[in-house]
Amino acid sequence: MIEGTLGYSATTIALFVGLVLLFVGIDLFAHRKDKPVSLKDALAWSFLWVLVSLGFAGYLGYTYGEEKASLFISGYALEKVLSVDNLMVFIAIFNAFSIPEAYRHRILYWGIIGAILFRLVFVVGGAALYALGPWVEFVFAGIIAFTAYKMLSGGDDDDSITDYSNHFSVRWTQRIVPVVPKLIGHNFFASKKTVEAELAKPENQGMSVVRRAAFYATPMFLCLVCIEFSDVLFAFDSVPAVIAVTKDPLLVYSAMMFAILGLRSMYFVLDALQRYMAHLEKAIIVLLFFIAFKLTISAANHMFGWPGFTIDPNVSLAIVLGTLAVGVIASIIFPSKDDDQSDEAAKQNTGAAE
């Protein structure tokens, strides 16, 4: 089960909450206008969130010992790297709904707020499941290993791209909430008067709404619903993986929160650099199999007293960071064939233009 009580001072909890609120507020103020997030800005914010997270890890190490800091960093790194695959789905969702780049930060902000709440529910739920006995670790190990297997067997299947604009979560929402089939600024909802004014414009001739209502959801809201649903599915894999690293409730939740709060900026970095991350998914698959193995060993120790060894937190941290580094370096040294072809085509187009 999740071990013990929180076991941390009020100062530590206040510091965690204060850091989150402070930097979320700064982030929101800096991105209060509807404009595309540049790669330079996204990199700067990603770096800032990593610094804040490492600063909190340093405080944990200074106050509670090196092991606490090591466990926090392992959980943080795992959540961060596992989020990469989910962010790739976000890119596909935004494209499916034709969301302009200037509005994507707004959707990601509300999506992150939902992720914070859902992660809390999942962490509490994970604690309740662990209380049932060590056999739960076998179940979680199976879930994580199956996820890794699916990624391994279907990672190169480009023909199975999902039409997220017709996702079942979107269809359910459309049955419940009246929808206007047009973006109206950055609004998630629009009043009846606003919608009627939009439909009356010459360029919107032939456009209509299914039923009359006082307020209508826009494609911005449908996109948000789709992103929230995909994040909930992602949490089924990521939460057991982080809990496998440490069962300390504050470390689990704080590691996930610092990783999640940096995802908005990380999204824009990945959107620009995804073609250079060709082998990162392979690193994620290796990490998932490692976590499944770690959970299996832990469950076997608790239930049967064998094989009688554990994986040290520092060893886990080294494996997580090392695997991630290998994936990034391999992507730089050995880019995918598609990247090589794209670069060659770009050179030919440049030569033809000259």
Highest mean pLDDT among 119-128, 130-139, 213-222: 213-222
- Tokens representing 330? 């391999």
Q: Residue 260 in contact with residue 239, Cβ under 8 Å? A: no
**Distance between CA atoms of residues 122 and 240, nearest Å:** 9
Structure-derived torsion over alpha carbons of residues 111, 115, 121, 125, reported in degrees to the nearest 10: 130
Among 112-121, 188-197, 218-227, which stretch is predicted with the lowest mean pLDDT?
A: 112-121
pLDDT exceeds 70 at position 173: yes
Average of per-residue pLDDT values in the chain: 81
171-180, 204-213, 220-229: least confident range: 204-213
Which is higher by pLDDT, 126 or 92?
A: 92
List pLDDT tens digits, range 35-45.
Answer: 888 888 888 88
- What pLDDT score was predicted for residue 37? 81
Which token pair is 152?
Answer: 């391994």
Predicted pLDDT at 6: 60
Q: Which pLDDT belongs to residue 82?
A: 80
pLDDT category of residue 263 using cuts at 50, 70 and 90: confident
User: Confidence class of residue 154 from pLDDT cuts 50, 70 and 90?
Assistant: low
How would residue 161 be classed by pLDDT, with cut points 50, 70 and 90?
Answer: very low
pLDDT at 338: 57
CA–CA gap between residue 142 and residue 296 (Å, rounded): 9
> Which of 113, 104, 123, 110 has its CA nearest to residue 20?
113
pLDDT at position 152 is 81
Nearest to 284 by CA among 233, 234, 335: 234
- Is residue 302 within 8 A of residue 134, CB to CB? The reply is yes
302-322 burial: b if 16+ Cβ within 10 Å, else e? eeeeeeeeeeebeebbebbee
User: CA torsion sign, 290 to 293 to 297 to 302?
Assistant: positive
Q: Which residue has the tokens 């832990």?
A: 298
- pLDDT tens-digit profile of 183-213? 998 999 999 899 888 888 888 877 778 778 8
pLDDT tens digits, one per residue of 293-344: 888 888 888 788 777 777 877 787 788 888 888 888 888 888 766 555 545 5
Helix (H) or strand (E) holding 216: strand 215-217
Asked if 285 and 291 count as a contact pair (C-beta separation under 8 A), the reply is: no
Largest CA distance in the chain: 75
Q: Which residues are bridge partners to 190 per DSSP?
A: 216
Residue 349: pLDDT band (50, 70, 90) is: very low
pLDDT in tens, 62-87: 999 999 999 999 889 888 888 777 78
22-26, 72-76, 129-133, 209-213: least confidently modelled range: 129-133
Residue 56: the pLDDT is 95
Judge if the upstream peptide bond of residue 307 is cis by omega within 30 degrees of 0: yes
pLDDT at 156: 46
pLDDT of 100-111, one tens digit each? 988 988 898 888
- Give the predicted TM-score (pTM) of the model: 0.77
Query: Whole-angstrom Cα distance, residue 84 to residue 118?
Result: 18
Dump pLDDT digits (tens) for 265-303: 888 887 777 666 778 788 888 888 888 888 888 888 878
**Neighbouring C-alpha atoms within 13 Å toward the C-beta of 190:** 23
